[in-house]
Amino acid sequence: MALNKSKPIEPQGRGLKEEDIEQHNVLTVSYRPMAKYAWATGVAISRFLEGLKAGEVLGTKCTQCGRIAVPPRVFCEWCFKRSGTWIRLPDTGTVNTFSVSYIATDTTRLKTPTIPAVIQIDSAGNAGFLHIIGEAKPEEVKIGMHVKAVWVEPEKRKGSITDIKYFKPIE
């Protein structure tokens, strides 16, 4: 058969529709992936999590520039040196920034909002971490507000950031 250059090639077949898949009009394979994840926390975060389990907030202090990191780091990013000293920090801090969220982690709407906030830990310079504010109404939360950790009971702690239930306002 001679190729007719003046006539465009018409594609054969048709596009798939959702019902083709649902009604098995096309070959499909169904499976449930057995995806399991493990994450190595590393030297610094492992010790930080062990500290939380013991009711302590641990950080590292760079022996060269004095920068405090909490959560701790093995290396100081400021001077590219190994962070030398482990220090125990207070479980109090200041609200650096916060948000009022009416959306749960599963995207459903919450009647009572959560208040995620970055807590700048006292004595740690500008270092801190993300947690949530409790025992306060959204309109009461302010940047610069002083807060204290409310811990999970010792026997129920798991070595997780959730060993701190939330941070509550203090005077």
Residues that bind Zn ion (CB under 5 A): 62, 64-65, 67, 76, 78-79
| Cβ 82 to Zn ion shortest distance, Å | 9
Assess contact for 89 and 70: CB atoms under 8 A. yes
| Cβ 121 to Zn ion shortest distance, Å | 18
Place of tokens 């190994």: 82
Structure token pair of residue 56: 């302590």
Assess contact for 89 and 121: CB atoms under 8 A. yes
- Of 16 and 65, which CB lies nearer to Zn ion in the complex structure? 65
| Cβ 64 to Zn ion shortest distance, Å | 5
- Of 43 and 65, which CB lies nearer to Zn ion in the complex structure? 65
Burial status of residue 118 (CB atoms within 10 A of its CB: 0-12, 13-18, 19 or more): middle
- Of 65 and 104, which CB lies nearer to Zn ion in the complex structure? 65
- Of 86 and 151, which CB lies nearer to Zn ion in the complex structure? 86
| Cβ 31 to Zn ion shortest distance, Å | 49
d(CA 115, CA 137): 9
List Cα–Cα distances, 102 to 76, 79, 109, in angstroms. 36, 40, 6
| Cβ 46 to Zn ion shortest distance, Å | 21
- Of 67 and 131, which CB lies nearer to Zn ion in the complex structure? 67
DSSP 5-49: TTSPPPPPS----HHHHHTTSS---------------HHHHHHHH
